[in-house]
Amino acid sequence: MPFAKNNPTSPIKSFLAHHLAKVVALAAFLILSLISMTIIYQNYQAQQQRLIDYSASLGQTSFNSSQKSLALTARSIFVSAIFKDDIFKLMAEAYHGDESVRAQKRQELYLKLYPTYQMLKHDNLRQLHFHLPNAISFLRFHRPDKFGDDISAVRPSIVKANETMQSVSGFEEGRIYNDFRHVYPIRYKNEFVGTVEISFSVDSIFELMLDNHVEYSAILLNKTLIQHKLFSDEMHNYETSAINDDLLEDKEIIGFHDSHSTIQPEILHQIDASIRPQFNPECDTCSFITQIGSSYYLTHLFALKNFLGEKVGYIANYHEEPALKTLKKSYLQVFAVYEALLVLISILIFFYGRNLLSQQEALKRLANIDSLTGILNRHAFKKALNEQVAQSRERKNPMSVIFFDIDHFKSINDNHGHLMGDEVLKYLTLLIRDGITHNDVFARWGGEEFVILLPNTSFTVAQVIAERLRKRIELQSHFNFPITCSFGVTCLRQNDSAQSLIQRADQLLYDSKHLGRNCVTAHE
């Protein structure tokens, strides 16, 4: 005891040791906090990027599919309404007549097709435009007072149709509007007498692009290009984009997909202002996140190319993305738990790992499963299809595909409501799933369209299966109204790719539609 009493260094060492422990503990806390913060934030960024990439992929796929759908619609309009002897005869008489004859034939043509034009306008037909050879405007139904001008300098699609005598399709800017245009040559008694253009506004694309978000869309076009082509008195249809001064926005495009949209003009202005400093004119597909208040908005810009393959602007898609808010909230909560329970590092690792796996599983399910029907979505099906095609080639096994959709599904929604439409989709899924084997890959392609991949199944057997499924649906008594489906059946050929196989099955489905629906069209 005397030694302790007379040794003044003992309490000093104790004091230093006590504070050194605090310093070490604090240093350990800071180091572990830095490590955990880095890991969690990187994980948050990776999940956020996966969500953005998935959303952009869906948007791009929908945009491409919608363009194909418009091309089929234009072809149908041409065949049913214009490909007629009396229409072609009027164009031939106008071609060979003088100005007075042309005026008369122009009036006759206008009166003959005006009712059809008015009806098709409700389906977003924007232009029905007839031209004489050498790209001379003959009759614009949207501007019947403007005719006789040579549009070859601004409409290369017309020039190409004149040169090749073949139909031409694609996006193109014009003297008045920019549209998705479909130009068809007109021949009367084996003589080329002109062309006709069937054009749809970009609104048509926006309406066909399926998405569960409340969203807004716009088209942004190169200012120099528009100023070069447009009639000077039509420039009022455009305004400079807030994203970039070299882009013009078409004001006539109705960008809201929902009358209750939360993306109002003031919100759009704030989003565009946040994108402006980040925008790179060289990008083809670029995405931006904007936080306004407690809401998160995701904006995609998809490169818009004309029929020559030249980039002429962008399709802009804005939508509120609640998943980003959820992701951010989850990130903050996990970080708070890490900081608060750092002393219990083993328990912390357990909860973090469980939370990480749960989030990854939710994202995986979101990426592969259709939320309404519970079967695979298009993304997952394409992956399975690519794998199965490679396996079938390697093992030299047969493989078939059945493509089908519900006939007159829009009428079911209109007459019985969208909730009933959802019930039909879910019941049909159960009906089909009970009619195929566990080896078959069943997926929702989009909307009311479904696809079945039949591994190790010959073309003949696939036809039998499709007919059995068609009959099974036709005879259902679950609903008090009839439900039928149209089917397309094909099998894997030697030189097929996954894409060509699906495209052929899809075309066969459309053939069934043209044959009257509720039937199976098969082609080996």
**Would you please indicate which residues are annotated as catalytic (active-site) residues?**
448
Cβ contact 141:113 at 8 Å = yes
- The SS3 of residue 47 is helix
Nearest partner of 300 among 316, 322, 311, judged by Cα: 316
**b/e string for 304-328 if b means 16 or more Cβ within 10 A?**
bebbeeeebbbbbbbbbbebbeebe
Nearest partner of 60 among 172, 205, 200, 181, judged by Cα: 205
Q: What is the identity of the amino acid at 48?
A: Q
Give CA separation, 491 vs 135, 279, 450, 455, in Å.
44, 45, 16, 10
Burial class (CB in 10 A: 0-12, 13-18, 19+), 2: exposed
Residue that has been written with the tokens 């060492």 in this structure: 13
Q: What is the identity of the amino acid at 389?
A: V
124 Cβ neighbours under 8 A, 6+ residues apart: 200, 201, 203, 204, 207
The full 3-state SS of 343-359, as one line of letters, equals CCHHHHHHHHHHHHHHH
- Residue 315, both tokens: 């399709």
Supply the DSSP symbol for 163: H
Please list the alpha-helical segments (H only) found in 78-141: 85-96, 99-121
Cβ contact 131:92 at 8 Å = no
